[in-house]
Structure 1
Amino acid sequence: MSGTASERMAEALDWARRVHEPDFDDWEGHLDWLEADPANAALFDEVSLHLEAATAGLAAEPVAAAVPDAANDNPPVSTSRRWWLGSAMAAALVGVIGIASWPSGPDMPATPLTIATALGQTRSVRLADGTRVAMNGGTMLKVDRATRSLSFGEGEAYFDVVHDPARPFRLQIGAASVEDIGTAFNVRRHDNVIEVAVREGVVSFDPDGGTEPDDDAVILKAGQAIRIVDDRGAVRRVDRTTIGGWRTGQLSYGDVALAEVAGDLSRAIGQPVRLAPGDGRRRFSGTFKVDADAATSVQRLAAISGMRATRDAGGWRLSPDG
């Protein structure tokens, strides 16, 4: 670790303050800083805790509490209505993080809890109500600490929601929203595409988030998905067993643009997979496996899509084969 102790503390404090500002957008810079030294993440967590305690008028001494999850492979963390943003690892990583409470009251911090993953990284998050969220690479979520709701930035995540009729679980995806009626579902958002697929139970999908007087919410049942492209949507049947398949390295598609598939593969392996604009419009249907070896995964996609994969300084490029 470089720099003096005071310089490192000042740097961590600056990041802790900045990432919770409403207009913060330097996620790449923040992730680069976390990756630069393994100790940065621990220091970031420490100063975030103290900063929140100070702004909330609480004692700065943390309250130790083990993460209430039997599957947790990480050591217990200190938590006291804390901000949390885990370190971004260069290789794929699965961690289990418990968020100890949905705090409320006058001393609750006003800023949302932000959770993000880097490309090639996955993370599993358990909320206080038991809801589990599996986050794919390149994903950002914000948790509203006053209500049982989240906002979805970019990326992909699988939600296994604990149903509570008195406090519905709500997910905001841009202008659209999803409300749980007891379910497990997958959400993917990239550029102009939003896709919600239901594996279990039922969700209500509202394209305008309930802001318009007309009731245009769509009820999606298990085995159904809605796909929105440029604000135009369609509901279709899907194989329930493939929903959220990315969690086990399986990517499945039915008649989508090849550029979309390449984007998902980039998210999974943590390396850019590019096509020329014209090639990106090619249609793709099929299933392929993604594993720890990026080259093998890219070659699999190339083989079943009639493309050729080549490696360059910027990552991978797919071009027509022949």
Structure 2
Amino acid sequence: MNSKANPLDAMVEAQALSWVIRMQRADFAEWDALTDWMDADPRHADSFNRLSLQDAEVASMLAVPSLPVPPSPVLAELREDTPRAAAPAERSSGTRPWMRIAASILLPVALAGGWLAHTFRSHPAPLRVTVLQTGPGERRDITLADGTRVALAGATSLAVDADGRHVRLLNGRAMFTVVHDPHHPFRVDLGDATVTDIGTVFDLYRWGARADVALSSGAALLTAGGQRIALRPGQRVRIDGHSVGQPQSFPIEDIGGWRRGSLTYTDATLAAIVNDLQAATGAPIRANQDVANQHFAGSIQISGDAEQTLAGVAPLLGVSVRRDGVVWELVSPGQKDRR
């Protein structure tokens, strides 16, 4: 076995450490850039999550003593309502699987030496951020300190500020049942868009520049693209980059249906649906270029593993399914046995 350090891995570690430290700054606003970096390579998120989880390890990497750090007020009262599965065995490299729920990012303020110490001296009151993550095929139900409940779908990343009333959906899907506080509104950022609670149950989806906001009960205010849109129950708004659609009717019973394994679409490409299938099943799935841009409207059901789910979903989508190694591929009918 080659014991020499991989220069690329070392570079990734350095970049991840830089992100972890920059996130402590009160004026940190590079959430989109952080999400893009994490999505670019699984090793990025792996390193970021590991360093976020291990503040003591970070301190030792900087060759300074670990200082006592008070627990996060968010984590101190945050309850994980979904029983956690046993953690997979560690790889020999010491890295963890890249998607898992992460603990609070708490780094010592008084770091000695170098530009890292200068960064912290410039911001003596670090911002404590809790990063919650799920892996593909994994779901979690979380209760925040104020009683707000959050259901996380697979492959979802959510950053929660120290006060627990301001969160950022970095990617994925989450449903919020918010405890209303008129003096301290609950806000969720999706890139440049913000949803503000007015006593609400709402479902959010974000993947890159695309986002969906759907309201199940109560009221919410969406601020996006220079617009302020008051949402009523049974309405959904789609955001695509700087383009913000008008509120559309959406069946209330289908909002958050993913928690029951049901995904409902009004007009989605198969490429977008494949992202949801991967997140829900945890299996690598792709759409062949011949079918990726086909559109679908209707509901599909996640039932069992990827093989069982795709067997039921493929006829509804008008495609066939073939397997290429560990990857499932949606193809045009008749292409199943062709390579």
Residue aligning to 1:126: 143
Change in Cα spacing, 1:145 to 1:33, as seen in structure 2 (3 Å) is closer
Residue aligning to 1:320: 332
Contact 2:78–2:143 (Cα < 8 Å) also in 1: no
Q: How many residues end up aligned between the 2 structures? A: 282
Q: Deviations over 1:164-210 (max 9, x none)?
A: 000001111111111001111111112342100111111111114xx
Amino acid at match of 1:166: H
Change in Cα spacing, 1:61 to 1:224, as seen in structure 2 (3 Å) is closer
Contact 1:88–1:117 (Cα < 8 Å) also in 2: no
Q: Distance between the aligned counterparts of 1:180 and 1:161, measured in 2?
A: 7
Give 1:147-166 correspondences, 5 Å limit: 148-166=165-183
Match of 1:276 among 282, 288, 295: 288
Contact 1:98–1:128 (Cα < 8 Å) also in 2: no
User: What is the TM-score normalised by the length of structure 2?
Assistant: 0.68
Q: Distance between the aligned counterparts of 1:263 and 1:50, measured in 2?
A: 37
**Is 1:242 equivalent to 2:259 in the alignment?**
no
Residue aligning to 1:218: 229
Change in Cα spacing, 1:71 to 1:144, as seen in structure 2 (3 Å) is closer
Contact 2:290–2:332 (Cα < 8 Å) also in 1: no
Q: Distance between the aligned counterparts of 1:115 and 1:127, measured in 2?
A: 11
Contact 2:103–2:132 (Cα < 8 Å) also in 1: no
Give 1:287-298 correspondences, 5 Å limit: 287-298=299-310
Q: Secondary structure at the match of 1:188?
A: strand
Q: Distance between the aligned counterparts of 1:70 and 1:313, measured in 2?
A: 36
Amino acid at match of 1:202: A
Contact 2:267–2:295 (Cα < 8 Å) also in 1: yes
Match of 1:184 among 196, 201, 204: 201
Q: Distance between the aligned counterparts of 1:299 and 1:116, measured in 2?
A: 29
Q: Distance between the aligned counterparts of 2:238 and 2:217, measured in 1?
A: 18
Residue aligning to 1:10: none
Q: Deviations over 1:197-253 (max 9, x none)?
A: 111111111114xxx5xxx21111111111123414131111111111111211111
Q: Distance between the aligned counterparts of 2:206 and 2:71, measured in 1?
A: 36
Residue aligning to 1:174: 191
Q: Which moved more, 1:286-295 or 1:148-157?
A: 286-295
Q: Distance between the aligned counterparts of 1:236 and 1:61, measured in 2?
A: 46
Match of 1:229 among 237, 240, 246: 240
Give 1:244-263 correspondences, 5 Å limit: 244-263=256-275
Q: Distance between the aligned counterparts of 1:111 and 1:165, measured in 2?
A: 24
Q: Secondary structure at the match of 1:234?
A: coil
Contact 1:50–1:60 (Cα < 8 Å) also in 2: no
Deviation of 1:267 (Å): 1.1
Match of 1:59 among 52, 59, 68: 68
Deviation of 1:293 (Å): 1.2
Match of 1:47 among 50, 56, 76: 56
Deviation of 1:114 (Å): 1.8
RMSD: 4.2
Q: Secondary structure at the match of 2:286?
A: strand
Q: Distance between the aligned counterparts of 2:213 and 2:189, measured in 1?
A: 12
Q: Deviations over 1:103-146 (max 9, x none)?
A: xxx98532522222222222222211111111112211112225
**Is 1:29 equivalent to 2:43 in the alignment?**
yes
Contact 2:78–2:144 (Cα < 8 Å) also in 1: no
Match of 2:276 among 242, 264, 284: 264
**Is 1:206 equivalent to 2:223 in the alignment?**
yes
Q: Distance between the aligned counterparts of 1:136 and 1:50, measured in 2?
A: 32
Q: Distance between the aligned counterparts of 1:152 and 1:273, measured in 2?
A: 23
- Residue identity over aligned pairs, in percent, reads 30
Q: Secondary structure at the match of 1:241?
A: helix
Q: Distance between the aligned counterparts of 2:54 and 2:149, measured in 1?
A: 22
Residue aligning to 1:6: none
Q: Which moved more, 1:111-120 or 1:199-208?
A: 111-120
User: What is the TM-score normalised by the length of structure 1?
Assistant: 0.71
